Copies of this chain bind each other. A is one copy, B any other.
């Protein structure tokens, strides 16, 4: 079966792309996550062409695209990503044919698909590759990347992403990286709140928290939130609940991801009863002073005693 002419064009130009060599890689977005990620790429010997809204070396995403044929973007919202790609001085203004553009932002999968279409029109390749793992994993190069895009390009993406993460998972067509991340984080939020509710109820019924966690973890209530990241202070060491919910994955960020899940569910008409409620609970927590605490602080939020 023949591939369509435009696709073979892309693949041909891809072949001329500087894959194996250590030619410059573009990096757009140097925030809490992008900064350590970019440093890990440099450690692996890649020269970087970088851009951020507080610019340093080059003056625009378009300039990055002029100087590098592999670009990674790591931006906070869908709007920032669209601006970086399609804006007045966006990547697409000067992108070279055959370039590989990898977006590691967590954004709406439908926006990823839109961007992919525009990129394809320019003869380049777009992949979505959101991460899980937080700032700590970004620093240590232990992120997980969930990658969506044409399968032929996965190896090229893996070469770069492997410098920054220990897990690079292929999830299928463009947008599927975002979809996988959104689904995982929605389930994470639900099981974290569920763990907090179950632990709190058990404690109020007179159970010892450590014993209850042990029982849950050997039973059908077991989940990552109960056995690896328990939200109750004193049950585990080395987790945010042991450190006043400092560090970890902020409540604001979880609320943002749940907003994306909600949008995707609304547009695909998928019922997410617990997912919606989890979204609203994290929204409430943001309004009650928990925005910068780790998302396992939902235990603390539920725990407060009634004063009567």
Chain A's interface size range is 35 or more
- Identify which of A109, A171, A175, A183 gathers the most chain B CB atoms within 10 Å of its CB: A183
Interface of chain A: mostly helix, strand, loop or mixed: helix
Chain B residue numbers with a CB within 8 Å of A242 are none
Chain B residue numbers with a CB within 8 Å of A266 are 259, 262-263, 279
Copy number in the complex reads 4
Chain B residue numbers with a CB within 8 Å of A264 are 201, 205
Chain B residue numbers with a CB within 8 Å of A223 are 187, 191, 222-224
The verdict on A5 contacting chain B, using a C-beta distance below 8 Å, is no
How far apart sit A261 and B206, CA to CA, in the bound complex (Å)? 14
Interface residues in A143-179 (C-beta closer than 8 Å to B): 144, 146, 167, 169, 171-173, 175-176, 179
* Pair A146/B215 contact, Cβ less than 8 Å: yes
* Pair A197/B186 contact, Cβ less than 8 Å: yes
How far apart sit A144 and B270, CA to CA, in the bound complex (Å)? 31
Chain B residue numbers with a CB within 8 Å of A36 are none
17 of the cross-chain contacts (CB-CB < 8 Å) are: A176-B207, A179-B206, A179-B207, A187-B226, A194-B194, A198-B275, A205-B264, A219-B224, A259-B266, A263-B263, A271-B283, A271-B302, A273-B281, A274-B278, A277-B277, A283-B306, A289-B307
